[in-house]
Structure 1
Amino acid sequence: MMVDTGASEKPDPAVVFMMEKEEDISFASGGWKSDDGRLSCGYSSFRGKRVTMEDFYDIKTSTIDGRTICMFGIFDGHGGSRAAEYLKEHLFDNLMKHPQFMTDTKSAICETYQKTDVDFLGSERDSLRDDGSTASTAVLVGSHLYVANVGDSRTVISIAGKAIPLSEDHKPNRIDERKRIESAGGVIMWAGTWRVGGVLAMSRAFGNRMLKQYVVAEPEIQDQEVDEELELVILASDGLWDVVPNEDAVSIARAEEEAEAASRKLTETAYTRGSADNITCLVVKFHHEKKVPVDPVASQDTKEKATIESMRVD
């Protein structure tokens, strides 16, 4: 994991606590808390039953023009790990360099996703590999959250205990995705599941140059204002979502006080429920200031005292 505070000339780091654990080569977990205590994040990544690990994650935080920026990403590789690793190394750095990042964040995210895809394909032009990767990212700019998605990783938030997906999986049999692919001359075939050209089980991805005409890296983006009802955000690869419904994931994460404990519990739950994939998740918790309840009796006493004081004449 990388915490990067180098987006401005004199960055003001937003993170003062960070913890990382490496128990073995197939499992990693850790977390951090913001300086003001209002935000914490935990991550957990597990190879699971797969022979190789193709999931990557990234967390970056910085202060730009006096505003706190936090970025969280899950990248699930397929056909190899190179595309997912490339996204971890470059996607957020590219985003922070975009000239409109602070003024038009949505457009900056959309353009950065597609430019990074082009850059990755260029870096692999002499390679015989043709791997690809999903990307599900959450970018917090001040009090505004932008969630972008390509592929079948997913981001879900909890608002007052209700699970709300902020991304929709890019599957070839999604009506709008099927129409887009077929309009471009592609075909959707059944091969154990619906696949683009009978090969790829998702309709959008980074990389996959042989299918690039149909499998695009244009993200779908949703934005959410961070208020007191927004409790947490869960980003995870499909190794979690294949066996843990959105509602269960939110319930599990809410039950744990610490974000790292929540991410670990989610990973463990997916594995015990039979997930056969790599499992990686990030849990971001918002710690809003709790309003002190007003004592109606004390409040009345205060009002009466104020009235008496105002009637006194020295």
Structure 2
Amino acid sequence: MTEVVCRRMLKHEDEDSPEKCRERRRRRIEMRRLAASSPPLTPSQNHRKENPNWADCSVESKRIRTAENSDLQVATAATSSSSPSSSGDYREASSEPERKPVFGTMSVAGRSREMEDSIAVRTRLCRPEISGRRSVHFFAVFDGHGGPHVAALCRERMHVFVEEELKRVGLRGESESGSGNSSSKEEHDDEEEEEEGLEERWRRVMRKSFERMDAIALTTCACGSVGYKCGCHLVEVTLGGSTAVVALLTPDHIVVANCGDSRAVLCRGGVAIPLSQDHKPDRSDEQARVEAAGGRVIFVNGARVEGILAMSRAIGDKYLKPFVTSEPEITFTKREPEDECLILASDGLWDVLSSELACDVARECLREVTPAPDAAIDLNSGPRIEDEGAGALYPSRSVLAAALLTRLALGRKSFDNISVIVVDLKKS
């Protein structure tokens, strides 16, 4: 009886041996795949037979196959381990490292007696969910009036509010908003509707940020005290204000929010594309809005709200509310390969230079040229200093573009403060 059982067991092992061989072959193929994707985790092919732990590796491979249940899931787990999520929104961030934007700034008092402009730049401000966890870069120009107080306050606080609002809104909208509406939109596969929903969330972020900034500007004294508890009673606190043009740069889009007569211009394929419109009181729609709020547009050395302010929208200006609003106009622009540069500047530049001329000058400065002789200065060499004027005279071509635009405005007898930001989109 014992001999019969042994014969049956031997026969059963002989019948299963081809299947076991095929299983071992599949394990070896899978281990080769894993070795190609992550060499440190598996032994090399040259030492497979000599390595005593090769059997353990085969067992571990079988264990992985059982847990993942397919070769596709194993490959997905291996490739997505370097990124925070396996969603398609992260494919660009994982495939290619993000580069810091190349930009140049210049801000001068010019022929004005007091410097009231401010510039704010925050590269890699945050990585919110709305941008697919990719970096958002912040650029802003603030042109103060009635004193530098509000412009300086915007420089210190605006990016903070924008960052907080970006972190609050999710990729599919805020959690506080109606979940029914968001879920119904998610059911649609139309890309245009998804793009419109994304644009609306960016607009909500910028509107809320400007609203919070205006509230702080109306309740903060120039000395830093909130609620006027300091007793300074400075005139500039109640009469002061500032324009604000803010640009958020992502790998896919350019979001610009403008309040006042500062301006943002995109140079695309040699063509100047305005990303903002100046809020002048004599603009037909702005004049209608001011008059509907009970205000007047009086022409005193140009169109002015109540004969005082030469712009119809601004942050601050407590005594001109609600005629002067802080609500920004927002543009949402998809980036294209033809984009060359982005220019943000105060009205000290735009009063004497057209958008087309500014783009022509900037793109000439940013254009790559053939290597100069050894005696010439290479503007692309050496450390790049974006915000400071130290080091080389013009440490980058974007700094050269900002400086040349400023000099042109001064040469054309601009009497206002001049502040310029030039972002090289080809290298950003």
TM range (shorter): 0.7 to 0.9
Corresponding residue number in structure 1 for 2:139? 72
Q: Work out the percentage of aligned pairs sharing the same amino acid.
A: 38
1:285 aligns with 2:424: yes
277, 295, 302: which one pairs with 1:168?
A: 277
The unaligned stretches of length 5 or more in structure 2 are 1-96, 174-200, 222-226, 367-396
- Matched letter for residue 113 of structure 1: F
Which has the bigger relative contact order, CA under 8 A and spacing at least 6? Answer: 1
User: Residue 38 of structure 1 contacts residue 287 of structure 1 at CA under 8 Å; is this kept in 2?
Assistant: no
* Cα RMSD after superposing both structures: 1.6
- State the distance in 2 between where 1:97 and 1:89 align: 14
97, 102, 109: which one pairs with 2:164?
A: 97
- State the distance in 1 between where 2:103 and 2:299 align: 39
Change (3 A) 1:46 1:178: same
Corresponding residue number in structure 2 for 1:217? 326
The unaligned stretches of length 5 or more in structure 1 are 1-34, 290-314
- Matched letter for residue 331 of structure 2: Q
- Matched letter for residue 54 of structure 1: E
Q: Which has the larger radius of gyration?
A: 2
SS of corresponding position for 2:135: strand
146, 157, 175: which one pairs with 2:255?
A: 146
- State the distance in 1 between where 2:365 and 2:170 align: 34
User: Residue 101 of structure 1 contacts residue 108 of structure 1 at CA under 8 Å; is this kept in 2?
Assistant: no
- Matched letter for residue 256 of structure 2: V
Q: TM-score, normalised by structure 1?
A: 0.78
User: Residue 339 of structure 2 contacts residue 426 of structure 2 at CA under 8 Å; is this kept in 1?
Assistant: no
SS of corresponding position for 1:171: coil
- Matched letter for residue 146 of structure 2: G
- State the distance in 2 between where 1:101 and 1:144 align: 17
1:88 aligns with 2:158: no
Deviations 1:258-311 (A, max 9, x none): 11110001001000011001100000111269xxxxxxxxxxxxxxxxxxxxxx
- State the distance in 2 between where 1:232 and 1:223 align: 16
The structure with the greater share of residues assigned to helix is 2
Deviations 1:184-208 (A, max 9, x none): 1101101010000000000000111
Corresponding residue number in structure 2 for 1:275? 414
253, 257, 265: which one pairs with 2:404?
A: 265
Q: TM-score, normalised by structure 2?
A: 0.58
1:108 aligns with 2:171: no
- State the distance in 2 between where 1:151 and 1:36 align: 32
Change (3 A) 1:114 1:85: same
Moved more, 127-136 or 182-191: 127-136
- State the distance in 1 between where 2:328 and 2:204 align: 10
1:203 aligns with 2:312: yes
User: Residue 100 of structure 2 contacts residue 123 of structure 2 at CA under 8 Å; is this kept in 1?
Assistant: no
- State the distance in 1 between where 2:315 and 2:363 align: 32
**How many pairs does the alignment contain?**
255
Deviations 1:113-170 (A, max 9, x none): 0111011101135333220000011101331110110000000001100001110000
The structure with the greater share of residues assigned to strand is 1
Change (3 A) 1:119 1:288: closer
Corresponding residue number in structure 2 for 1:120? 217
1:239 aligns with 2:378: no
Report the alpha carbon displacement of residue 36 of structure 1 after superposing the two structures with TM: 5.1
- Matched letter for residue 297 of structure 2: I
- State the distance in 2 between where 1:181 and 1:149 align: 17
Report the alpha carbon displacement of residue 74 of structure 1 after superposing the two structures with TM: 0.2
- State the distance in 2 between where 1:40 and 1:218 align: 30
- Matched letter for residue 253 of structure 1: A
Corresponding residue number in structure 2 for 1:8? none
- State the distance in 2 between where 1:187 and 1:228 align: 45
1:39 aligns with 2:108: no
